[in-house]
């Protein structure tokens, strides 16, 4: 890895914060372009690969699926309409909010059930009862 601007997969992994296996996986599914290779067959990445990979990682952190990220990357390359991007992002925001609502419902139900447990110290368990019974 002497020098030049080329990065080995290990270096790319460290700089991008994306696991090596995951990088190869992204290549396999066509999300990250296959880089040139050394004579021995090792992958040699450029700064553009790094940028793209960071883009993917940030997208994942925001909860976009890989397919959505693929679309976003497509919009980056062509002349994007900002409106398209915004539409995708808003749809995704709705998804996230729906998931939050689901989890909050779970949280409420579970907390309520557990609370009943603390009230009475009897032998029957209200948590199991709630799951089994009514």
Partner DNA sequence: CTAGGACCTGTAGCGGCTACAGGTTCAAGG
Partner DNA sequence: CCTTGAACCTGTAGCCGCTACAGGTCCTAG
For binding to DNA (CB under 7 A), which residues are involved?
Answer: 1-2, 8-11, 13, 19-22, 24-25, 37-43, 60, 65-67
As beta bridge partners, residue 37 has 43
Nearer to DNA, 61 or 124 (CB): 61
Nearer to DNA, 10 or 115 (CB): 10
Q: Distance between CA atoms of 74 and 76, rounded to whole angstroms?
A: 5
> Binders of its own copies among 72-101, rule CB under 8 A?
72, 75-76, 80, 82, 85-86, 89-90, 92-93, 96-97, 99-100
1 binding its own copies? (CB under 8 A): no
- With CA atoms as reference, report the closest residue to 32 among 51, 6, 10: 51
């Amino acid at each position: 890895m002497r020098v030049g601007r080329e990065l080995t997969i290990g270096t790319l992994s460290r700089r991008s914060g994306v696991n090596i296996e995951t990088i190869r996986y992204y290549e396999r599914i066509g999300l990250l372009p296959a880089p040139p290779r050394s004579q021995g067959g090792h992958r040699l990445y450029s700064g553009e690969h790094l940028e793209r990979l960071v883009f993917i990682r940030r997208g994942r952190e925001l909860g976009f699926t890989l397919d959505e990220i693929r679309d976003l990357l497509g919009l980056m390359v062509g002349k994007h309409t900002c409106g398209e991007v915004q539409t995708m992002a808003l749809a995704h925001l709705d998804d996230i909010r729906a998931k939050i609502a689901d989890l909050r419902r779970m949280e409420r139900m579970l907390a309520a059930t557990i609370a009943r447990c603390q009230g009475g110290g009897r032998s029957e368990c209200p948590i199991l009862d709630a799951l089994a019974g009514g």
